[in-house]
Structure 1
Amino acid sequence: MTASLRGWRGPPGSPGRVAGVTTTTSLDLTADLTTLTAAVCDIASVSGDEAALADAVEAALGAYPHLEVLRDGDAVVARTHLGRDSRVVIAGHIDTVPLTTDPVNLPTRLEGEGADAVLWGRGTVDMKGGVAVQLALAAALTEPTRDVTWVFYDHEEVDASLNGLGRIAREHPEWLAADFAVLCEPTDAGLEGGCNGTLRAEVRVAGVAAHSARAWTGSNAIHSAAPVLARLAAYEPASVEVDGLVYREGLNAVTITGGIATNVVPDSCVVTVNYRFAPSRSVEEATAHVRDLMAGYEVVVTDAAAGARPGLDDPAAAEFAAAVLGVTGGAPAPKYGWTDVARFSALGVPAVNFGPGDPLLAHKDDERLPVAQLDLCRDALRAWLTA
């Protein structure tokens, strides 16, 4: 059955509409994974323009009687109701960062053959390869050994207040009720536990404006920001072990602004810093750390999100790790960036990252995916869901 709860979809502008790129189409969930991934990618869905892809996902999943399909805005949820002893959520976002025209990164193109084939194009890594794996399994697994909630959500690549998963958590928390969750973010087909937290803050430096020909009558705020930059340059980020995984922290200046004209001594300068902190720290502890480092300066936190501990000691997580690593090999690793596993953690649901694609290629103009990873991730998830 299909229930449609349509909310705000974002502006109907054209950031995702490029000549030669599909805007509306149907998806064949029984196609081979390379074909399905290309089809999902070729429905352009830059953040704020996900409606066409959400429509296609909703229609495709609605054809399968073993799934209940729900929708909120441009987020689509499909779930089984088999009366299993446990329920898991498998989630992925359907939006991408903006397209480029030089080079053109949509439509997708396939290079090579067989196990060496590579699919190029926007979204192949972040994260429509993972979305295609989700769609194929949602259609194929009519009798999984766990009840499954498949989540396809919007607005992940933009401001956190617009995030579709966050919106579902606020407005339909029962849709996300589960014993365990998997986020199909790109991990190079490896298992990555938890994620770092992130904090952005403005370090504000004051000065006194003056004519630049008589600079001695003022105080140059940009010059006075030099000690801020020196502290950041000398900062040695920590590596912190959390539940057996080592998370690398980082604290960097990411923007600097100041001055109003080329003949005026600036009376203000703002250095924006981004602190990526281990999930053992709270947002409050991360804030205190930045304030301590920048003692003597005004520090204004503009955005912050807590990380998520790995949670691999949870029985459901340990069972997932054993099943998946039995197919892919390797060992669990930390997720250095922030991902929506933190949202599940806040809901009390243990969660991990697992999906195809090299995260170092996410958002790059030469984004590309070895298609062999699609089959590997599908097979690993299927082994877990049918064990």
Structure 2
Amino acid sequence: MSLDLTADLPDLLQALVDIESVSGDEARIADEVETALRALPHLEVDRDGDTVVARTRLGRDERVVVAGHLDTVPVAANLPSRRLEVDGVDAVWGRGSCDMKGGVAVALAVAAAAREPVRDVTWIFYDQEEVEAERNGLGRVAASHPDWLDASFAVLGEPTGARVEGGCQGTMRGRIELRGTAAHSARAWMGHNAIHDAADVLSRLRDYEPRQVEVDGLGYHEGLNAVSVSGGIAGNVIPDRCVVDVNFRFAPDRSPEEAVDFVRDLFAPHEVEVMDLSAGARPGLDQPAAAAFVAAVGGEPRAKFGWTDVARFSAVGVPAVNFGPGDPSKAHADDEFCPVADLHTCHDALLRWLTDTR
């Protein structure tokens, strides 16, 4: 099979979906993408592992990046793809159709069509986004080929319902370990129940009021929640240990260090062990390329709730937005699908942005 980048968008999306590419098994789809891009004479193509990068070299005053990941979460009896109607909407159904081969199909089609864009473009199709951060192909490229990410602005094709979602929240996962003294439950007074001590932690979470803040014109809503509580030894033993895991989604005006300080201050004197921490990303909508992109896309930008790889661009000084076809609530769902209308909306917007000479 070879990918036809000039095919109708739903056909191209189905071809991509039908190449199974669960994280860590992207070689075949990367091969197909690389072959299709190398056939385009206006692009220079490189590869790092299963990440494929294609660039124009037109000497424009500005360079932008359009990126998308090739991998999916595991298949759940949702391959091969199907073209069907969902609640009256023409759609492509199948694993990865929403997250995010719809965005990849759009990017590939525009890469083929935009032979002389008004901005130089770097197209990045990367591997292993759906797994641990240390395996992420975009992160690997940032470390080994930082020049490939050099740009004034970036667009990540994550599903947004074909609307611009600026920046992203940061995320922190913390662990609070409460210690007690084990004893027989018939003689509970001889021990100290660690699970009971979790009441103090949980009451602070109950009383916490999420901060709502405007960052670069977009409204972000923070959230701090318990996501796991564990403890106990046996049905007749007073537990000497209880662990509460919390997740903090913070607005991109906070640094990761400020987020950690906030959580530790909230739970003091309990100690909080940081288990995972990722910075958010400011929208950067005040940048000229971003303003031109929003104008080309139309509609009112909104904040991205959640963490995406736009944060990796932000970390290297490149403002970025999320913009792609599909309802993000369908990402990873067994009935995952992408509306065909979203494919055309995103395709036309990207093409206008890259080729409009006005």
Which category of TM-score, normalised to the shorter sequence, fits these structures? over 0.9
| 1:225-374 equivalences in 2 (<5 Å) | 225-325=198-298, 330-374=299-343
In 2, the alpha carbon distance for the partners of 1:37 and 1:215 equals 62
Measure the CA separation in 2 of the matches of 1:256 and 1:49: 34
TM-score (norm 2): 0.96
- Match among 192, 195, 201 for residue 174 of structure 2: 201
Tell me the C-alpha RMSD between the 2 structures: 1.5
Cα distance in structure 1, aligned partners of 2:73 and 2:175: 25
CA distance in 1, matches of 2:247, 2:128: 21
The residue type equivalent to 1:266 in the other structure is: P
What is the number of equivalent residue pairs in this alignment? 355
Stretches of structure 1 lacking an aligned partner (at least 5 in a row): 1-24
Equivalent position of 1:386 in the other structure: 355
- Which of 71, 81, 84 aligns to 1:95? It is 71
Shift of 1:105: 1.7
Give, in angstroms, the shift of residue 366 of structure 1. 2.0
Instruction: Kindly state the Cα deviation for residue 36 of structure 1 after the two structures are TM-superposed.
Output: 0.8
Q: Secondary structure at the match of 2:272?
A: strand
Task: Point out the more displaced range, 245-254 or 41-50.
Answer: 41-50
Q: Which amino acid aligns with 2:232?
A: G
For 1:59, the equivalent position in structure 2 comes to 35
**Rounded Cα–Cα distance in structure 1 between residues aligned with 2:101 and 2:214:** 31
Supply the distance in 1 between the matched residues of 2:70 and 2:199 (Cα, whole angstroms).
Answer: 42
Is the partner of 1:117 in helix, strand or coil? strand
Which residue, 78, 96, 114 being the options, matches 1:105? 78
Structure 1 position 177 matched with structure 2 position 153: no
Residue matched to 2:52: 76
Q: Of residues 177, 186, 197 in structure 1, which corresponds to 2:159?
A: 186
Shift of 1:211: 2.9
Cα separation, 2, equivalents of 1:215 and 1:51? 59
TM-score by length of 1: 0.89
What is the DSSP-based 3-state SS (H/G/I as helix, E as strand, rest coil) of the residue aligned with 1:246? strand
Letter in 1 for 2:108: L
Equivalent position SS for 2:171: strand
Kindly provide the amino acid, as one letter, of the partner of residue 220 in structure 1.
Answer: N
**Sequence identity, in percent?**
67
Measured in 2, the distance between the counterparts of 1:295 and 1:82 equals: 56
Once the two structures are TM-superposed, the CA of residue 99 in structure 1 deviates from its matched residue by 1.9
Pairwise mapping of residues 132-151 of structure 1 onto structure 2 (< 5 A)? 132-151=105-124
Aligned partner of residue 225 in structure 1, secondary structure: helix
Q: Deviations over 1:19-50 (max 9, x none)?
A: xxxxxx42221211101111111111111221
Superposition pairs for residues 118-137 of structure 1, below 5 Å? 118-137=91-110
Amino acid at match of 1:384: W
Partner residue of 1:9? none
Q: Output one character per residue of 1:288-333: Cα deviation in whole Å (capped at 9) or x when no partner.
A: 11111111212001111111111111111111111121xxxx2111
Q: Aligned residue for 1:3?
A: none
User: Which stretch of the first structure deviates more once superposed, 341-350 or 165-174?
Assistant: 341-350
Quote the Cα distance in structure 2 between the aligned partners of 1:261 and 1:27: 58
